[in-house]
Homo-oligomer: A and B are copies of this chain.
Amino acid sequence: MLLGRVVGTLVASRKETTLEGLKFLVLKQLDIEGKETGGYRVAADAVGAGLGEVVLYATGSAARQTKYTHQRPCDGVIMAIVDLLEVDGDVKYDKSREG
């Protein structure tokens, strides 16, 4: 899994029929320090993530292992909202301290 920050939304009225009802969020990829890498991903939301939140997302076939995405043409899913990220003994991200 990789870290991302939810930065946007995407509307698509014409889509594969099985995708009806699935919410797509736009993520900026984050590195291990919580900084943006320049990459992005559009992912289905399985946890009710909100704009600005730091999340964990899975790609590939893993993205279909939720009730929302099962057997749908989806290759990215947000599967957790990050509360605390600690690396090398330092807190790199603490959701409770976000403004």
Binding site for B on A (CB under 8 A): 1-3, 7-16, 18-19, 24, 26, 28, 31-32, 40-43, 46-48, 56, 58-66, 69, 71-77, 79-88, 92
Contacts and interface: CB of A to CB of B under 8 A. Distances in A.
Contact of A73 (B11, B79, B88): B79
Contacts of A42: 1-3, 56
B18 A65 contact: yes
A90 B72 CA distance: 29
A62 B80 contact: no
A84 B8 CA distance: 10
Contacts of A77: 16, 73
A83 B1 CA distance: 25
